[in-house]
Amino acid sequence: MTDAASLPTRQIGPFAVSAIGLGCMNLNHCYPPFPDEAAATRLLNHALDAGVTFLDTAALYGDNENERLLGRAVMHRRAEFTLASKCVLDYADGKRVLDGRPERIKATCEAALARLGTDVIDLYYLHRLDKDVPIEDSVGALAELVAAGKVRTIGLSEMSAATIERAHAVHPIAAVQSEYSLAVRNPEVAVLATCRRLGIAFVPFSPVARGLLAGGVTDGAYEAGDLRYSMPRFVGDRLTRNLDLAGRFAALAQGAGVTPAQLALGWLLAQGDDLIPIPGTRSIAHLDEDLKAATIAFDLATIAAADALFPPNALDGARYSPAAQAQIDTELLPDEELA
């Protein structure tokens, strides 16, 4: 177990959080098989014991069940962590919906507070941009929730620099969350620079590229219902080519005396002290492995070598299906594949 006292902290708005947080989605969303509640509860409490002070969930995950899980598993330790959740993406009558209308955001927040068993959410994100609703209206609803004491700070997820600017003009944005890793470099187009200019923390999700950079993907045989089946870069001949690159990355990590996951996280942490990655896992052993990356003194030459392995568009294949990409506002890389 990582010693809690040894985990460095980074800042998100007014909150000092562990330099590596925990994305809770894996516990019942996207990547089956899922642990039973007892195992999930052990992992969440182990994370807190190990010094994690930043937990990330969302209304979408597990059709609201992820928030309920946190409510049952760790809310008795509420003072020990900064709680992040998300709205706009949700389920209605068993179907996934994207709805950024103010009334929907407020209703989702009320339901989330009940599911979580708390009276305030520290960081509440717009999970995606609803292109049918002005961002000013959606952020305005969150600002009203802040004024009402139900939300402490506001975040955005997978949004472009232009959208961030518009949102920040309505109410200060504390954090932007987007997919970012050695293998997914979209935030480098404009979002990272915009966040730094505005004093906004950046929270990379999928920091080990959905397992590709952590030895978690060895072929295209996933469990039924796994999200990666819908992602072109994780199936077929494209995956075969991407696994070759992942193998070279693993060899680099081995030569440096670290695991691939640790090197992937170490690279992210080295990009600036305003980045707080949130890897997800179902395994306590993997959690401890990830957290150790926050205390490893990585050689700068190793970080540079990792960076050189993954220029923009290094992976073969689009990162999302066309339907999922339609809900993404983040800038595309030059010549990025979309199919």
Beta bridge partners of 173: 154
Whether the pTM exceeds 0.95: the reply is yes
Q: What is the pLDDT of residue 92?
A: 86
In angstroms, rounded to a whole number, what is the distance separating the alpha carbons of residues 8 and 273?
Answer: 10
> pLDDT, tens digit, for every residue of 205-215?
999 999 999 99
Ordered per-residue pLDDT tens for the chain, 339 residues: 444 446 999 999 999 999 999 999 999 999 999 999 999 999 999 999 999 999 999 999 999 999 999 999 999 999 999 999 999 999 888 889 999 999 999 999 999 999 999 999 999 999 999 999 999 999 999 999 999 999 999 999 999 999 999 999 999 999 999 999 999 999 999 999 999 999 999 999 999 999 999 999 999 999 999 999 999 999 999 999 999 999 999 999 999 999 999 999 999 999 999 999 999 999 999 999 999 999 999 999 999 999 999 999 999 999 999 999 999 999 999 999 997
Q: Which of 246, 171, 168 is nearest to 208 (CA)?
A: 246
> pLDDT, tens digit, for every residue of 242-291?
999 999 999 999 999 999 999 999 999 999 999 999 999 999 999 999 99
CATH topology of domain 8-325: TIM Barrel (3.20.20)
Q: What is the pLDDT of residue 285?
A: 98
Q: What is the pLDDT of residue 275?
A: 98
Q: Which of 256, 273, 231, 272 is nearest to 309 (CA)?
A: 256
Residues tagged active-site:
61
In angstroms, rounded to a whole number, what is the distance separating the alpha carbons of residues 247 and 309?
Answer: 11
The dihedral region occupied by 36, where left means phi > 0, alpha psi between -120 and 50, and beta the remainder, is beta
- Is the distance from CB of 100 to CB of 88 less than 8 angstroms? yes
In angstroms, rounded to a whole number, what is the distance separating the alpha carbons of residues 191 and 240?
Answer: 30
Query: How many C-beta atoms surround the C-beta of residue 65 within 10 A?
Result: 16
> pLDDT, tens digit, for every residue of 110-134?
999 999 999 999 999 999 999 999 9
Q: What angle do CA 277, 130, 124 make, to 5 degrees?
A: 40
Q: What is the pLDDT of residue 339?
A: 79
Quick one: tokens of 334?
Answer: 């030059």
- Is the distance from CB of 208 to CB of 265 less than 8 angstroms? yes
